[in-house]
Structure 1
Amino acid sequence: MLFAVRLDLSRLEVAGPPVPVAEDVNLNPLSGAAQFSFSRAGVLVYAPGGAQTVARSLIRVDRKGAVRPVTETRRAFFGPRLSPDRRRLALTVEDDKGFNVWVQDLERDTLTRLTLDGGQERLAVWTPDGRRLVLGSSPARRTPSLLWRAADGSDDEKSLTASGRRPIAGSVSPDGTVMAFTDQDPIPGGTGNDIWLLPLPEGEPQPYLRTPFDEAGPMFSPDGRWIAYTSNETGREEVYLRPFPGPGGKWQISTEGGSEAVWNPNGREIFFRNGDKMMAVSLAASEDRIRAEKPVLLFEAPYDHGLPWYPNYDVGADGREFLMIRSEPRPAPTQLNVVLGWFSALRRQPPPPGR
């Protein structure tokens, strides 16, 4: 339903109750973006169709781009994360109730819902033992926070930190003692997105990387000595490495733009995306330095991107196969409805008391 409301421009306040204007308007149920426009003369035009949920499929892609399906299930998936044993897959699923985390059993092809409150719970990250999932949550009823719970749903969620901003889980160190995540500086014009470290199972978050630029998508290396991340410090997104826990220098891994960094489980290669291109960089690490080869194109295809800078894919145990998400084609709107004189419905509404 599309509503309109009168405004008092002198007071910058709402000056009446919402009035229904049109039903069944084509819209994104999560962002609220709707397909309509109107003129000063009171002519409204909109595309019908109601809430449009995108159907996406999970597929496996090898290093040459060959494709095979994972499951026949079609949902609005994003943020796939393979469990350490590669038998399960944590996913965020979006619907008209918000974002929730589900777990896919890849051997039995079952999809089980883990979170139930229809909030904004997304981008789940496995602990190294595969027993728990850490996720960022910002449902309307509570402060945005990082939570964790058993991957089989056998316990209740436990808050790890409450930031009041927008924490997004990145990765857990191989020894399970530290969580790397991104959070926003609450000060407008401040440091933007920064990378923080949170001791597990409890502790206070500490800044890892705070600059005037944005940093996001922190991913621990398999040996725990490095963190890969994305920054826009050059004016475009690029992938970098820094030592953990630091201090130390930084190494730019991508050369012509890149984000969504994921490590090869062997620790000697990093993957990242540059638009529709899947890139790979071979690495050689010494005690405190990294030598990176030139990025190599593996394949190029229009697989879905998720949250900015955070990987919307994962990598198999041998580094030879990628788990990607692909949107299914959906028909474009073929009809536009026109409503004349809808301003008159607003003018008939009596002004609020005291006006």
Structure 2
Amino acid sequence: MVAKPLSDGKEEPACAKELGDLLSFDLSFAGPFEPAADPQQVRRRGIAPGLFDFAPLEAAAVDFLVLSGYTVAGSTLTVELRLYHVPSRSLKVAKRFTATVKELRQIGHLFSDEILLAVTGKRGPFSGGITLVTRKGGAKELALMDYDGHNMRPLTGNGSLNLHPDCAAGGAEIVYTSYKNGGPDLYRREIYQGSEARLTRSAGGNITPAFSPDGRRIAFSSSRDGNAEIYLMNRDGTGLRRLTSNRAIDVSPCWSPDGREIAFVSDRLGKPQIFIMGADGQNVRRLTTSGPYNVNPSWSPLGDRIVYSGQVEGTFQLFSIMPDGRDNVRLTAVGRNENPRWSPDGRFVVFNSSRAGGDGIYLMRADGSAQIRVSSGAGSDAEPVWAAAR
């Protein structure tokens, strides 16, 4: 149960509501929790042990209680948060944050991450951001937003086409394709500092880059030698190496979490299907065998599943499959659904869908449940990538 935040001084109802709603959303979406109503008879003088009564919560079969208190002094916000295990009447997590009022949502997401760590043993991904491609008139620009769709801010503004973003494991760096200097080339950019390096300068197109799990290498597709093949280079653009060599089109590489294998899309058998090869380009094997057209693979950080987009009855739906080709499960059914990517902890999937009209960014749990739109506005948003918190 998430209780209403208490003020240690002048009440700020907007702050209290925003923090309470945020924590409730995070924990409800997470899955292990079900929201519980606040028993009316509970009276609280504070959030520390002894300042509230556990008995009404025990009678209501509440397992966990989230309490919070806040103080606002000018633009400075101080927030204290507590997680209690009601059956044992024990304090599990206690945190104190001091920041600006504008950072309230980041504070809430950080505490949600801590709650998941305490309850499940694995930290949550809620304090990370989502990088995406958003249409601006005739241009496509990169933007960054909180995982729940709030605080959208631009990353590029060059009036060109900026596509295929991927985030390094640390969450502070992206690599992407841009047409801003002519043909499609790859750029590496610091998200928060804004510094940028151009990585390719070839006549052929360079698209769909993907950081290795350790951030030292980048796999991508390039047509520099004629048709689109998978290449590998160091993060600074040096050490170029070609991994595939055939007459087919090979695109969209994605890494296994141990960095030993790469999944990619190839039409070498006629229609696009997903294949897996070693990170050295050897031992290629076909992954998808059902459906006429399968693209956009993304390998779970846990290593146990690959999500992808497959054509079904003239549109695209999302599927999840084991890396050995077993247990192919359909996850979506409404609208056109594409570009799935995992959250850094492997619990959730972010993707774009047309189910409500124009493309928007959606979230779901790894099993396909709890699908919800998080991007707002009437524009077109696509190619989301969930980055870890820096």
Residue 109 (structure 1) aligns with:
194
- CA displacement 1:9-62 (0-9 Å, x = unmatched): xxxxxxxxxxxxxxxxxxxxxxxxxxxxxxxxxxxxxxxxxxxx9544332223
CA distance in 2, matches of 1:273, 1:180: 20
> Any conservation in 2 of the 1:226–1:242 contact (CA below 8 Å)?
yes
For residue 168 of structure 1, the aligned residue among 248, 251, 254 is 251
User: Residues 99 and 73 from structure 1, CA distance in 2 versus in 1: closer, same or farther, beyond 3 angstroms?
Assistant: closer
Residue 207 (structure 2) aligns with:
122
User: Residues 292 and 58 from structure 1, CA distance in 2 versus in 1: closer, same or farther, beyond 3 angstroms?
Assistant: closer
Residues 1:213 and 2:258 aligned together: no
For residue 200 of structure 1, the aligned residue among 276, 279, 298 is 279
Amino acid at match of 1:195: I
- Which structure is higher in strand share? 1
CA distance in 2, matches of 1:161, 1:150: 17
Q: Name which structure has the greater RCO, CA cutoff 8 Å, separation 6+.
A: 1
TM-superposed CA distance for 1:193, in Å, is 0.8
- CA displacement 1:150-186 (0-9 Å, x = unmatched): 1112x33110111322111231000001100001145
For residue 136 of structure 1, give the secondary structure of its aligned residue in structure 2: strand
CA distance in 2, matches of 1:64, 1:144: 34
User: Residues 303 and 173 from structure 1, CA distance in 2 versus in 1: closer, same or farther, beyond 3 angstroms?
Assistant: farther
Amino acid at match of 1:99: P
CA distance in 2, matches of 1:93, 1:103: 10
CA distance in 2, matches of 1:99, 1:64: 28
User: Residues 133 and 304 from structure 1, CA distance in 2 versus in 1: closer, same or farther, beyond 3 angstroms?
Assistant: farther
- CA displacement 1:117-172 (0-9 Å, x = unmatched): 13111111111110010011113x4343110111112x331101113221112310
> Any conservation in 2 of the 1:123–1:169 contact (CA below 8 Å)?
yes
Residue 344 (structure 1) aligns with:
none
Residues 1:252 and 2:330 aligned together: yes
- Percent identical pairs in the alignment equals 19
User: Residues 117 and 107 from structure 1, CA distance in 2 versus in 1: closer, same or farther, beyond 3 angstroms?
Assistant: same
CA distance in 1, matches of 2:282, 2:350: 31
> Any conservation in 1 of the 2:309–2:338 contact (CA below 8 Å)?
yes
CA distance in 1, matches of 2:203, 2:362: 35
For normalisation by structure 1, the TM-score amounts to 0.64
Residue 89 (structure 1) aligns with:
174
For normalisation by structure 2, the TM-score amounts to 0.58
- CA displacement 1:242-294 (0-9 Å, x = unmatched): 11224x222211120311101111211111111222221123xxxxxxx4314
Residues 1:179 and 2:258 aligned together: no
Q: Across the two proteins, how many residue pairs are aligned to each other?
A: 248
User: Residues 95 and 295 from structure 1, CA distance in 2 versus in 1: closer, same or farther, beyond 3 angstroms?
Assistant: same
For residue 278 of structure 1, give the secondary structure of its aligned residue in structure 2: strand
> Any conservation in 2 of the 1:266–1:318 contact (CA below 8 Å)?
no
CA distance in 2, matches of 1:151, 1:80: 14
Residue 55 (structure 2) aligns with:
none
C-alpha RMSD of matched pairs (Å): 2.4
For residue 266 of structure 1, the aligned residue among 345, 352, 373 is 345
CA distance in 2, matches of 1:231, 1:166: 17
CA distance in 2, matches of 1:207, 1:136: 18
1:1-355 correspondence to structure 2 within 5 Å: 55-62=139-146, 63-70=148-155, 74-95=159-180, 97-139=182-224, 141-153=225-237, 155-185=238-268, 187=270, 192-246=271-325, 248-257=326-335, 258-275=337-354, 276-283=359-366, 291-301=367-377, 312-318=383-389
Q: Which runs of 5+ in 2 are unaligned?
A: 1-136
CA distance in 2, matches of 1:64, 1:117: 36
User: Residues 115 and 173 from structure 1, CA distance in 2 versus in 1: closer, same or farther, beyond 3 angstroms?
Assistant: same
Residue 6 (structure 1) aligns with:
none
Amino acid at match of 2:343: N
> Any conservation in 1 of the 2:351–2:384 contact (CA below 8 Å)?
no
Residue 288 (structure 1) aligns with:
none
CA distance in 2, matches of 1:66, 1:176: 33
CA distance in 2, matches of 1:164, 1:96: 28
TM-superposed CA distance for 1:200, in Å, is 1.3
CA distance in 2, matches of 1:236, 1:56: 23
> Any conservation in 1 of the 2:230–2:253 contact (CA below 8 Å)?
no
> Any conservation in 1 of the 2:166–2:385 contact (CA below 8 Å)?
yes
> Any conservation in 1 of the 2:340–2:384 contact (CA below 8 Å)?
no
- Which structure is higher in helix share? 2
- CA displacement 1:219-260 (0-9 Å, x = unmatched): 0011110000011134421001011224x2222111203111
- CA displacement 1:66-88 (0-9 Å, x = unmatched): 42233555543111111111221
